[in-house]
Amino acid sequence: MGPREQYATIPSTQDRAIELARAGAYEGTRVVARAQSAGRGRLDHTWESPPGGLYLSLIARAPEVHRSLVSLAIGAGLREAISGRFGVLASLKWPNDLLVPTPGGAPRKLSGILIDEVPSPTLGRAEVAGIGVNVSLDREQLSAPLREATVSLGDFMDPPPPLEEVEEVVVDAALRSIRELDTEAGAQAALARCRAVLYGIGHRAWVDGVPTGIIQGIGEDGELFVSQGSAQFAIRAGDLRVEEP
């Protein structure tokens, strides 16, 4: 395992890890914070990061092929690891979130993943995987729109697991998921896991605020297939909202 930097608070673990990757950090190097003041999500979204969550960015060698599967593979691997260790069952929302169903309501977000690929003098190309997991959040510290949209491991476990234990699970799952993509068999196994736990199949998808079609599944490169009538097409990027029944 590579070096570990820990902070009580930092603007962004992802930005710091990108600096380290570009400077030649080795695989397994990670940056961990108890809180972030400028956490980043996909598509320039803000990741609210009060105390009570695991905020971690991990550096790994980019796979030779199947790089488009990295975020999904980590999501499926993390889902499996969290289920196995903590007994919390989640679904994978394309392309990077873990959602936990709630009785009588929309599923809530447990974890999110952000991937940046950067040049590295030691690794050639490095994947910097930013992973946030809600462990014991006080929802009153979140903005109003997020209070009813998030869930924590502590909602299912009393007491919640230590952050150090969650970190161990996350790092192991993320590294194994990325390394698995180095073989064709591993990539196919990762895709199978993603497809088995994909959230929203049969539901209407909105991408970047536009109604797009009915979710059908995931393609070989990690694209999301949706259908409109008899036509089927692929979504490769965008902000996905799944319409609840």
Residue 46 pLDDT greater than 90, yes or no: no
Question: Are both 147 and 212 inside the same structural domain?
Answer: no
Question: Are both 210 and 169 inside the same structural domain?
Answer: no
Question: Are both 68 and 143 inside the same structural domain?
Answer: yes
Please report the pLDDT score of residue 69 as a whole number. Answer: 97
Q: Which residue has the tokens 């679904």?
A: 91
Query: What residues make up the domain containing 233?
Result: 204-242
Question: Are both 237 and 172 inside the same structural domain?
Answer: no
Kindly report the pTM of this predicted structure. Answer: 0.94
Query: How many independent structural domains does the chain possess?
Result: 2
- As given in the structure block, the two tokens for residue 128 are 């910097």
Question: Are both 84 and 169 inside the same structural domain?
Answer: yes
Q: Work out the number of other CB atoms within 10 angstroms of the CB of residue 34.
A: 17
Question: Are both 208 and 189 inside the same structural domain?
Answer: no
Average pLDDT, the chain: 93
Tallying the residues shown for the chain, one arrives at: 245
Closest by alpha carbon to 82, among 171, 16, 2, 145? 171
Residue 44 pLDDT greater than 70, yes or no: no
In angstroms, rounded to a whole number, what is the distance separating the alpha carbons of residues 183 and 147? 41
Please report the pLDDT score of residue 49 as a whole number. Answer: 86
* pLDDT tier, 106 (very low <50, low <70, confident <90, very high otherwise): confident
Please report the pLDDT score of residue 42 as a whole number. Answer: 66
State mean pLDDT over 148-177.
Answer: 96
Instruction: State residue 8 phi and psi, 5-degree precision.
Output: -65, -45
Question: Are both 128 and 231 inside the same structural domain?
Answer: no
CATH number of the domain at 151, please.
3.30.930.10
Residue 43 pLDDT greater than 70, yes or no: no
State mean pLDDT over 138-146.
Answer: 85
Question: Are both 117 and 151 inside the same structural domain?
Answer: yes
Question: Are both 24 and 100 inside the same structural domain?
Answer: yes
Question: Are both 134 and 17 inside the same structural domain?
Answer: yes
Question: Are both 12 and 94 inside the same structural domain?
Answer: yes
Question: Are both 144 and 170 inside the same structural domain?
Answer: yes
